[in-house]
Amino acid sequence: MKPGKFLLLIYISLTLMIVPGCWSRRELNSLSISQAIAVDLEPDGKIVLTFLFVKPDSGQKQMGGGSGSGMSYVLVSEKGETLFDTQRDIYLSLPRKLFMGQNSLVIYSEQAARAGLGPLMDLFFRHKDFRLTNYVFVTRGKASDMLKFQPNLESNPVREIFGAITYAHMRVSKTIPKDIKDFLIDLGAPGIEPVLPEIELVPKLAGEELPQSGSSGGGGPSQKTKLRLAGMAVFKEDKFVDWLSPDETRALHFAVAMGHLGIEIIPGPSDKKLAVEIIGGTSKIKPIVKNGRLFIRIESTSAANIGETMGVKGIDNPDLINELNKETENVIRERIEKLVKKAQKEYRSDFMGFGSAIWREMPQYWKEIENEWDELFTEIPVEVVVKVDIKGIGMASDYSNER
């Protein structure tokens, strides 16, 4: 290699070290990273967005400080005509660039949900920062209030909610996690209406309240309330219709196979109660045409364990277990039947996806009835077939406190 060329190579390599950069770069210390967005709709039609931003520089060190200024997150609200317009107005009061790529929750107030979530979700679908895997919630009161509780174990409320929704549905099946993608899929598919999990703040029980640390003068999140995920919000198209209670949500789990998990309380012999733990299963919604009449059959099959006997004796007796199978089946069947009735008569929303099942199994037939499905749905006969199989009884058979 000629010396001239060699020098040129060194020159280029050296320049490469200094010159390159990124055009649209965003450095961590110039960002405000949003983790949750609460969407409220004012009576006058204005939109209020509340962002929860983490402070990137505070990190874990100031956790547990308790006092208002020691928090590792801030809430910022703005009011505007559309979501995007409102989001941009945040710049007027914030010293940093907004970054929503880490956003993991979107919370809507009941008011917003009643007005229809389609338009209010468009930004999250269209904007490049948001992922379709953001969890979506609906709350009864103001959405922004849901970010104002004292987190228990995590550093901010969002991580607290995120953790709860991640584990709760696998253990109690009283809530169903839904992200933007799920909502949009249900909204777009024929014959199914979306549901979204409910989030609320409930008063702490007396046993939970820690003694105040003295200096909690003004501000700071309320120490008296705690997070609760329970129940679902039912939609008709993108508009909120009504709530499902936690128990009805469990029925929904069993009907549409979101998960067959959680505890069922079963009446046992001599007025005692048992807790049966459902550990898994499948269910199928089958449209069946018999003698020219269409009806729906919900087939739900679960496996279970005895979780707790509360004093019931002889739990290792196969006859008793068979009886308990029947009892559990009855409990679940009643639940599902009640939910179906409510869906048909009260809510008139096909959130269990009967229409969708017809569309999947008999697309030709669906085309014929699609237009009058809203009416048909409320009258369609539904048969519920439940099968429960108790497999295990835990680590003990009986205990004897009487001789």
Partner 1 sequence: MPLEKGKISGKQLTVLYITTIVASAVVFLPGVVAAKAQQDAWISSIIAAITGFFLALLVLRLHSRFPEQNVIQYSRTILGKWPGLITGAGFAWFFIHINAVIIREFGAFLATVLPETPPVVFMALIVLLSAYYVRNGLEVCCRIAEFYFPIFVLQVVVIVLLVVKEVRWQLFEPILGAGWGPVIEGIFPPVMWFGEVITMSMILPYLHDKSQAARSLFLGVLLAGILFFLASFFTIGVFGGDLTANLNFPVFELARTISIAQFLERVDAVLMSFWVAGGVIKITTFNYCAVLGTAQLLNLSDYKPIILPLAVIQVFMALTGWENVGQLKYFINDIIAPYSLILFEGGIPLMLLVIARIRRLGVTK
CA neighbor of 256 nearest in space, from 330, 188, 167, 182: 182
Segment contacting partner 1 by CB under 8 A, of 111-119, 179-187, 209-217, 263-271? 179-187
Residue type, 187: L
Residue type, 281: G
Q: Is position 132 an interface residue for partner 1 (rule: CB under 8 A)?
A: yes
Q: Give the span between the Cα atoms of 161 and 208, in whole angstroms.
A: 18
Q: Is position 9 an interface residue for partner 1 (rule: CB under 8 A)?
A: no
Q: Is position 189 an interface residue for partner 1 (rule: CB under 8 A)?
A: yes
- Output 23 or 399, the one with its CB closest to partner 1: 23
Q: Is position 363 an interface residue for partner 1 (rule: CB under 8 A)?
A: yes
Instruction: State in angstroms the smallest separation of the CB of 34 from partner 1.
Output: 15
**Mind spelling out the 3-state secondary structure of 107-163?**
EEEHHHHHHCHHHHHHHHHHCCCCCCCCEEEEECCCHHHHHCECCCCCCCHHHHHHH
Q: Is position 371 an interface residue for partner 1 (rule: CB under 8 A)?
A: no
Give one word for 90, left, alpha or beta, with left for phi > 0 and alpha for psi -120 to 50: alpha
- Output 236 or 360, the one with its CB closest to partner 1: 360
**Which position among 114, 181, 236, 387 is part of the footprint of partner 1 (CB under 8 A)?**
181
Q: Is position 60 an interface residue for partner 1 (rule: CB under 8 A)?
A: no
Q: Is position 28 an interface residue for partner 1 (rule: CB under 8 A)?
A: no
What is the dihedral sign for C-alpha 154, 158, 159, 161? positive
Q: Is position 31 an interface residue for partner 1 (rule: CB under 8 A)?
A: no
Q: Give the span between the Cα atoms of 174 and 333, in whole angstroms.
A: 17
**Which position among 15, 30, 133, 216 is part of the footprint of partner 1 (CB under 8 A)?**
133
**Which position among 361, 376, 385, 387 is part of the footprint of partner 1 (CB under 8 A)?**
361
- Output 102 or 225, the one with its CB closest to partner 1: 102
The binding track of 98-117 with respect to partner 1, each residue x by CB under 8 A or -, is: ---x----------------
Q: Is position 96 an interface residue for partner 1 (rule: CB under 8 A)?
A: no
- Output 141 or 363, the one with its CB closest to partner 1: 363
Q: Is position 292 an interface residue for partner 1 (rule: CB under 8 A)?
A: no
Q: Give the span between the Cα atoms of 318 and 303, in whole angstroms.
A: 16
Q: Is position 128 an interface residue for partner 1 (rule: CB under 8 A)?
A: yes
- Output 163 or 246, the one with its CB closest to partner 1: 163
Q: Is position 142 an interface residue for partner 1 (rule: CB under 8 A)?
A: no
Q: Is position 369 an interface residue for partner 1 (rule: CB under 8 A)?
A: no
Instruction: State in angstroms the smallest separation of the CB of 361 from partner 1.
Output: 7
End-to-end alpha carbon distance in the chain: 100
Q: What are phi and psi of 50, to 5 degrees?
A: -120, 120
Segment contacting partner 1 by CB under 8 A, of 37-45, 139-147, 183-191, 322-330? 183-191
b/e burial code for range 338-376 (CB count within 10 A of at least 16 → b): ebbebbbeebbbbbbbbbbbbbeebeeebeebeeebeeb
Q: Are strands 31-41 and 97-99 parallel, antiparallel or unpaired?
A: parallel
Residues that bind partner 1 (CB under 8 A): 23-24, 101, 128, 131-133, 181, 184-185, 188-189, 359-361, 363
